[in-house]
Structure 1
Amino acid sequence: MESGAVRYGIIGVGMMGREHMVNLAHLRSEGATVTCVADPHPSSLEHALDLARSLHAPPPAVFPGHRQLLDSGLCDVVVVSSPNMTHFEILMDIINHHKPHHVLVEKPLCTTVEDCRKIVNATKRRPDILVQVGLEYRYMPPVSKLIDIVKSGILGHVKMVAIREHRFPFLVKVNNWNRFNVNTGGTLVEKCCHFFDLMRLFAAANPVRVMASGSIDVNHKDETYDGKVPDIIDNAFVIVEFDNGTRGMLDLCMFAEGSKNEQEISVVGDIGKGEAFVPESIVHVGLRAEGRAGVKIEKAEDARIKYDGLHHGSSYLEHLHFLSVIKGESIDAPAVSLMDGLLSVAIGVAAQLSIEKGRFITIQEILQC
């Protein structure tokens, strides 16, 4: 696509869809404009129109469903920010539509590995479509800085990756869809695909097997929806082994609001150690030879960010990069590929199954499902 105005449609304008609207409004100078939105819930459409007015943006056309949006011809790029369990059907409709639409799909790509694989294979028939998966944690300034540090080799060969997320419970969503595994894929797919994606990046390897322990201990236990009690876990430990010998560990707790940082990421090589802290947005780097006294603390910032939003500027940078690829200003492919999306889901599915079965789960058996 030649540089110039790029028209966006947003499918699903709940909390995250509206967050995308704000990010794109801050990219008007780059040619981004939201021309249409789709959502089956009238209240969500009203909120989107109110938001457009507050942003002094032209009112987008509104549609009750994604097919009407695709048929309208009003957009070149589609952001899929609808509930997880709707991603597969929507993506297949986009891929099979006669008009090509580039796609940014929120994580997780799909809720099952089988559906992810079908999307990967279907997209191979559409070389005219660019698809990026919204694993935007890669773009958070402290995480991005740590990725660069690891790639520089200063830490040596990465041996261990430890990620801690201690945070608040899941937010309330439309019709409480995120309270049930059947809709989300499970907490370790819905939320933690971000961290499994980062583990793969830091390890520079692919997962082999997964062991997890987790449960629902505090959150949502007194909630009922149509007579059903939520089944999403609220805490877990997950160990991931990679094919180059690196090991990763996730420590998740969703009733830990009393934390200074929501995410703490540690990468240890045979020469040194790096750490990233969010939202403090600082990075620690230390070499074994220099000991504790030699640890350097650096602030992580990115001057390009015009809007911090819900994810510390990462969604803005995600859009900025994808837009440059769409406009042909960057020769890079989308930063997060469909295979990245598939494997982040596969690790989460393996972790959920490991909790259920009480044993290690190999990635191979998950990919063969």
Structure 2
Amino acid sequence: MPTALVTGSAGFIGYHVCARLLNEGWRVIGLDARTDYYDVTLKDARHARLAPLGDFVPELGRVEDPGRMAALFERERPDVVIHLAAQAGVRYSIENPRSYLESNIIGTFEILEAARAHPPRHLLLASTSSAYGANTSMPYNETDRADYQMSFYAATKKSTESMAHSYAHLYGLPTTMFRFFTVYGPWGRPDMALFKFTKAILQGTPIEVYNYGDMSRDFTYIDDLVEGIRLLMDAVPERPEDGIVPEGDSLSPVAPYRVVNVGNSEPVQLTAFIEAIEQATGLSAQRNLMPMQPGDVPATWADAALLRSLTGYTPATPVHEGVARFVEWYRSYYPRNSCDPQMK
């Protein structure tokens, strides 16, 4: 039975990735620090659902703790590593940048050092669409320059891409970096717009709509994202012997390293996203229109051609379907918020 190490296993994406692998018969080591960035009970509930699915080994700890990842790699010798643990959130990185330095940069360093000592078959690490920063040419393509990050969160994630490339080159570690695009769905994060909007609409309180609603995002449904990750696990990059990279591929000419967008390839206006929540809840939103927040970008849009070329797959869940599934989950998980909006 192959073993996968998934960091951030009690997180939104990590939970769903673990569930998919367990259902396929993998042995899964799930590492999570259970930080209080958002509701720890939600993280515990995710983890609790994993154990009955198969051979799940939960580990409590931070990836940035010196020596923790080295010891874990030495003990478990994972075949595949999916590094999803990170301090997330663009706006929070303005308030508490040190947590991003420690979790994202130092944590990734510890992962890379452990992988150097005990190489997995494939090392996969999460980056972000925010790495494209000030780019205005869309859709975002993996071969575009990405030099002007707009938030410290984005800067730390772009830094991890460079770090991972250096290790892939120096030590021959087959490495894939994911650039995720606004992931949403059941068991999602409370700090994300869909979660906050749904809660507010059901409670009859206003929602904060940034840039006065003139924003668009390439919303990616969680099941689509997990499918992309699962298929990319088997698309192990190889260093080109002649240094020549096929057109449209982000493969490094000097390392077994690749960056891949995982997005829906269809930007949706924020106003349309809110309308989908209104339709799913049967309630109208009270909109509090606000200016653009520091570190934010007005639009994201993924070019998913490379993902399709490598795996034959393109995410395609329409936003109205994905939002409806989230609202259904939310109402079942938080029933008190799902009745009369006056009942809080």
Instruction: Give the TM-score of the pair, scaled to structure 1.
Output: 0.40
Greater relative contact order structure (CA < 8 Å, 6+ sep):
1
Question: Greater strand share, 1 or 2?
Answer: 1
Instruction: Give the TM-score of the pair, scaled to structure 2.
Output: 0.43
